[in-house]
Amino acid sequence: MKDLVKRLTEAYGPSGSEDKVREIIRAEVEKFADEIRVDSLGNLICRVAPKAPVAGSAPKRIMVAAHMDEIGVIVSYIDDKGFLRFSTIGGLSPYLLLGQKVVFENGTIGVFGTEKLEDMKSLAFDKMFIDIGASTREEAEKKVKVGDSAVILREFSDLGDRVTSKCMDNRISCAVAIEAMKSVRLEHHEAYFVFSVQEELGLRGARVSAYGINPDVGIAVDVTTWGDTPECAPFNVVLGKGVAIKAKDSSVIVHPKVKNLMIEVAEKKGIPYQMEVLERGGTDAGAMHLTREGVPSGTISIPCRYVHTPCEMVDMRDVDAAVKLLVGVVEELASSSGGGML
């Protein structure tokens, strides 16, 4: 699985330009899906059919969403000397960009520089630029145009049980959903595994794909933050103690039936888990639960240190627990017969 995580996390895929990630995922899941389509915004939608559909009634639909996009920057202006000004894609801090390299979709590499500053506190995005090694605007424009996006250039590193990369948020969850698709066995109801676009800009891909699928229940898979490094804020989720089951974040208060089902499955199967209440941040469940007339939704979270930095870190034991919980919950939902799925 680490090899898959390496390939997914080293791929280029800022919000709105997820094609390369989608192609890797499509190749992985093709033989495990009964139907695959890409919608008009670029969401990859994979339907897995039930083995024993209930005669005389349409199967209910379970939607699983893992976003493919990552945070990045987009060129807003190129000056006469060939320096690029930029805008951000998703939640970034200017401090984290100092000393970093970026890579554009065509392979062009740049480094961040900054204007002369009074002190480090005055560092801001509008004082920064990207240097791609050009001396004039004409030279720069041969490689990069206004409107082109870039992501941090940073390789995947294997530290043992723990692994780090620029975009565990959220390729680690794409890997979880891929692994789940490979082993899940659906009895009566069907599942739609959605690899969504543009989550980092406001859950946009999940919103339209949920409208199209019209699911009966929604499960997002995403990273959450951590509470176990020196002097960090108290937080119930730590690395290595299992998958996190979300109760609330700023996008959703998880439907009690979904939350309780996740807890029951984890208890029954002996999957280590931790309860999560996140003050700030949201996931695709935020969009799914507000679809049409409302969809009971929840989130399976992977504990992740240093979220939205070039060095996001997860523990593969938590990742394995997330795969087991996702498979268990989807199978439990798909096996219900009679009135309602929950």
Tokens of 300: 């399976």
Q: Which does 225 bind (CB under 5 to 8 A by kind): Zn ion, Co ion, none?
A: none
Q: Please name which of 169, 219, 214, 167 lies closest in space to residue 193, comparing C-alpha atoms.
A: 219
Residue number with CB closer to Co ion (108 or 170): 170
Query: How far is the C-alpha of 284 from the C-alpha of 139, rounded, in Å?
Result: 41
Closest approach, Cβ 125 to Co ion, in A, equals: 18
Closest approach, Cβ 200 to Co ion, in A, equals: 5
List residues bridging with 72 in a β-sheet: 89
Q: Which does 315 bind (CB under 5 to 8 A by kind): Zn ion, Co ion, none?
A: none
Residue number with CB closer to Zn ion (10 or 139): 10
Closest approach, Cβ 222 to Zn ion, in A, equals: 4
69 binds Co ion (CB under 5 A): no
Query: How far is the C-alpha of 50 from the C-alpha of 35, rounded, in Å?
Result: 12
**How many positions of this chain bind Co ion (CB under 5 A)?**
1
Q: 56: buried, middle or exposed (CB in 10 Å: 19+, 13-18, 0-12)?
A: exposed
Q: Which residue is nearest to Co ion (CB)?
A: 169
Position of tokens 């959220």?
Answer: 170
Q: Let me know if 293 is a catalytic residue.
A: no
Q: Which does 284 bind (CB under 5 to 8 A by kind): Zn ion, Co ion, none?
A: none
The catalytic position among 199, 276, 331, 332 is 199
Residue number with CB closer to Co ion (32 or 306): 306
Closest approach, Cβ 123 to Zn ion, in A, equals: 25
Residues of this chain, 162-191, that bind Zn ion according to CB under 5 A: 169-170
Q: Please name which of 229, 247, 240, 248 lies closest in space to residue 319, comparing C-alpha atoms.
A: 240
The one segment of 120-128, 159-167, 219-227, 228-236 that binds Zn ion by CB under 5 A: 219-227
Which residues have a Cβ under 8 Å from the Cβ of 99 and sit 6 or more positions away? Answer: 112
Query: How far is the C-alpha of 323 from the C-alpha of 175, rounded, in Å?
Result: 9
Which residues have a Cβ under 8 Å from the Cβ of 329 and sit 6 or more positions away? Answer: 219, 261, 262, 265, 300
Closest approach, Cβ 308 to Co ion, in A, equals: 6
Report the number of secondary-structure helices (H) and strands (E) in the chain: 9, 17
The one segment of 122-130, 215-223, 243-251, 292-300 that binds Zn ion by CB under 5 A: 215-223
Closest approach, Cβ 336 to Co ion, in A, equals: 32
Q: Which does 149 bind (CB under 5 to 8 A by kind): Zn ion, Co ion, none?
A: none
Interface with Zn ion (CB under 5 A), residue from 69, 222, 249, 276: 222
Q: Which does 222 bind (CB under 5 to 8 A by kind): Co ion, Zn ion, none?
A: Zn ion
Half-sphere CA count of 79, side-chain side, radius 13 A: 9
Q: Are 78 and 141 in contact (CB under 8 A)?
A: yes
Residues of this chain, 142-181, that bind Co ion according to CB under 5 A: 169
Query: How far is the C-alpha of 40 from the C-alpha of 51, rounded, in Å?
Result: 30
Residue number with CB closer to Co ion (14 or 82): 14
Write the Ramachandran bin of 61: left for phi over 0, alpha for psi from -120 to 50, otherwise beta.
beta
Q: Which does 274 bind (CB under 5 to 8 A by kind): Zn ion, Co ion, none?
A: none
Q: 196: buried, middle or exposed (CB in 10 Å: 19+, 13-18, 0-12)?
A: buried
**How many positions of this chain bind Zn ion (CB under 5 A)?**
3
Q: Which residue is nearest to Zn ion (CB)?
A: 170
The one segment of 24-32, 97-105, 153-161, 214-222 that binds Zn ion by CB under 5 A: 214-222
Q: Which residues bind Co ion (CB under 5 A)?
A: 169
Note the residues at the interface with Zn ion (CB under 5 A): 169-170, 222
Catalytic residues, by residue number, are: 199
